[in-house]
Structure 1
């Protein structure tokens, strides 16, 4: 299967425009030197470039036209700043305490407006219902009643007129309200969603709306009609097209996240069988899944600061079998399952089975405290879902288990700790 780099039609058509810049100012004490700029394709962050701080400022030059969501990630402090681009300069100021970002101050008009709309939307969902109930107990001619009326009017108002000056802000909020707002989702049919996905401009891929709209689409069709719903959508989009392949990739990931293995297998097989050129987006999904297929050699991982071992990598660990666990100290299922594995650890050791835990933690103290109870090999990048694990090993949830043989081939992918123990007759 051949892979090529594909630029969207809008990117190509508008590339003659002058580049824009993203400027992020940090206070003097912010303990970070590097920053990585990302754009978005569906639900996947795409690395653009990496810059170093100069005079407490990061400046990214973006050479092409781009309207949509962006992110700057600070790897050493594991913090991130999200913002939008209207294909114009972006200016952001950080308020930080040491390595911790306390506040994000948007200085350009598009991000100021987007932030304001997002804040208003949250208040509508949380505060407006309560205010509407309280209003029933106060007359409109009282001071408090008048104040309530003003605030309810403000929260039920709309910034759409101002948003119309900004194409991406308008696109995002119009379509979020239409397809994802609880007030409107019941009014939208599957045909409406299919038409929108088919006819939308390229901002669909950069908006972060695609995956939630696909989930809404599947829910709209019901659990008994998943195949019919997906086939209807893919028939319209055509999987030979960039959008069809992005949607196919997103659907495969959705089925993975929701443990819908039958549907994941069906559409992953479809993706593998494509004879046309494929996009980077779909290629990454295929590679991530191929890495962890039964019988595949588990991709090696060089330990960062592993404990309970002198081995330098997963492949350096010598054992007849290895149990790989992707987990987190904040994961409630891990809290329940890992003690069960701990209770059988000596029995597993006697069978020359080694356990390797790779944590998707962020907080070092929480991670360190938790692994004190786990005598097996433990390591973490301390980058949460920004770690390399999620893409390399197709990890969408914790805990995720793999069992490897002595040659590091994947011989089982248990769903739960009970399946792990059953595999080794350790229940």
Structure 2
């Protein structure tokens, strides 16, 4: 405590000098006025600040040091721009068409460099294999063959020097080692990943690499003893530390996303039983799962522009049973499953039941086209996976179903529409 008191003025000075600003310029025709700025913690966006447009631009002040991935989100039209921070000023300008962002130009050196690297990386992963195949049909001394050879050489080398950018260097080095798929490369081991997670700086949490690296860890070798592998990882990272708890949270959500219910429940129980102080990341995971488990009171939702009802909230709807469906017009599984519920909707109403469908769409015309065919209560925020209920109800995939009783308690979490029909004993 003495150090904190003695060096308060120095810390304030350091904090102030570490501030940086983000300058955004938009066309005059771009309608949204508000922008949100998010930092990253593992795979979760964390709201840092928000700002209202002045003229055709935004100036956002970041008050605390931050190095890593960042995101701009324009809630009025559900648009996003991803970029990086090297804890220095960021400047970008974007073009639009029909109020949608079509091209982003990064004017600061770090983001310009990162954009170049990622452009080449994308071409290496998607285009380079095809170029190798095409080259087999052209002689190297032919004009097109020579051009192919030159492009293959360009994409095969790492010409952009990123050593002076700590975050870019961290991201690309570890992406290539732990995530990128390369023929002939030595397979990464459990021990290497554990060592990397233990020794990494805070850039691991802000890089977006943590979750895919954990997926890589789970995919190493045969899956005959995955619990032993996970237990070894959690023991090594120590779940009484912030890093260990973030890893635990990510693993629980990975198991949830991939439908590995037994593993999810095992480690969620372990997380709940921890006796130490819990960090915000793990606390959120525990809370969200607790609020959506069978027997819990389903969190209420205030409708934005609901159809087929005059109710203001989900809890206001009077029904002996409520089937809550999370879906999207672009979801092929929804396309396959929802007709079965349409067919049984009158029977559900006959049981004094109701269906409430909350869409994770972001395209208004696509949503309105589909929703015309759905006879039940429908609503959407038109924010896609940025919708508020995505986190509130722990939604990882569409369609997702909940069945509530007359008191809005969760009584079932069916996997498919057929399971909903079976649970309600509809023939």
TM-score (norm. length: structure 2) = 0.95
CA distance in 1, matches of 2:134, 2:13: 53
Post-superposition offset of 1:221: 4.1
Aligned to 2:88: 88
Post-superposition offset of 1:130: 2.2
Answer yes or no: is the 8 Å Cα contact 2:178–2:188 preserved in 1: yes
TM-superposition CA deviations, 1:142-199 (whole Å, max 9, x none): 3333322221111111035x11010101110000000011117752111111111111
* Secondary structure, counterpart of 1:92 in structure 2: strand
CA distance in 2, matches of 1:146, 1:12: 59
CA distance in 1, matches of 2:327, 2:414: 14
1:347-386 mapped onto 2 (5 Å cutoff): 347-386=347-386
Post-superposition offset of 1:365: 1.1
TM-score (norm. length: structure 1) = 0.95
* Secondary structure, counterpart of 2:155 in structure 1: helix
CA distance in 2, matches of 1:132, 1:14: 51
CA distance in 1, matches of 2:124, 2:394: 36
Post-superposition offset of 1:139: 3.4
TM-superposition CA deviations, 1:338-357 (whole Å, max 9, x none): 10011011011011001100
TM-superposition CA deviations, 1:209-250 (whole Å, max 9, x none): 000110010011432221011101000000000000000000
Q: Is 1:394–2:394 an aligned residue pair?
A: yes
1:193-212 mapped onto 2 (5 Å cutoff): 193-212=193-212
1:175-324 mapped onto 2 (5 Å cutoff): 175-183=174-182, 186-324=186-324
* Secondary structure, counterpart of 1:187 in structure 2: coil
Post-superposition offset of 1:16: 6.1
TM-superposition CA deviations, 1:331-390 (whole Å, max 9, x none): 111111110011011011011001100000111111111111111100000100000111
Aligned to 2:346: 346
Aligned to 2:117: 117
Aligned to 1:420: 420
Answer yes or no: is the 8 Å Cα contact 1:221–1:229 preserved in 2: no
* Secondary structure, counterpart of 1:182 in structure 2: coil
Aligned to 1:171: 170
* Secondary structure, counterpart of 2:61 in structure 1: strand
| Structure 1: runs of 5+ lacking an equivalent | 1-10
Deviates more, 1:132-141 or 1:333-342: 132-141
CA distance in 2, matches of 1:142, 1:222: 47
Deviates more, 1:300-309 or 1:144-153: 144-153
Change (3 A) 1:159 1:165: farther
Change (3 A) 1:16 1:222: farther
CA distance in 2, matches of 1:275, 1:309: 46
| Structure 2: runs of 5+ lacking an equivalent | 1-10
Post-superposition offset of 1:397: 0.6
Give the CA RMSD over aligned residues: 1.6
1:6-17 mapped onto 2 (5 Å cutoff): 15=15, 17=17
1:27-42 mapped onto 2 (5 Å cutoff): 27-42=27-42
TM-superposition CA deviations, 1:106-132 (whole Å, max 9, x none): 111111111111110111122212222
Answer yes or no: is the 8 Å Cα contact 1:17–1:65 preserved in 2: no
Q: Is 1:136–2:114 an aligned residue pair?
A: no
Post-superposition offset of 1:307: 0.4
CA distance in 2, matches of 1:247, 1:147: 46
* Secondary structure, counterpart of 1:220 in structure 2: coil
Answer yes or no: is the 8 Å Cα contact 2:402–2:412 preserved in 1: yes
* Secondary structure, counterpart of 2:220 in structure 1: helix
CA distance in 2, matches of 1:78, 1:147: 41
Answer yes or no: is the 8 Å Cα contact 2:18–2:87 preserved in 1: no
Aligned to 2:3: none
Deviates more, 1:245-254 or 1:136-145: 136-145
CA distance in 1, matches of 2:242, 2:14: 18
* Secondary structure, counterpart of 2:396 in structure 1: coil
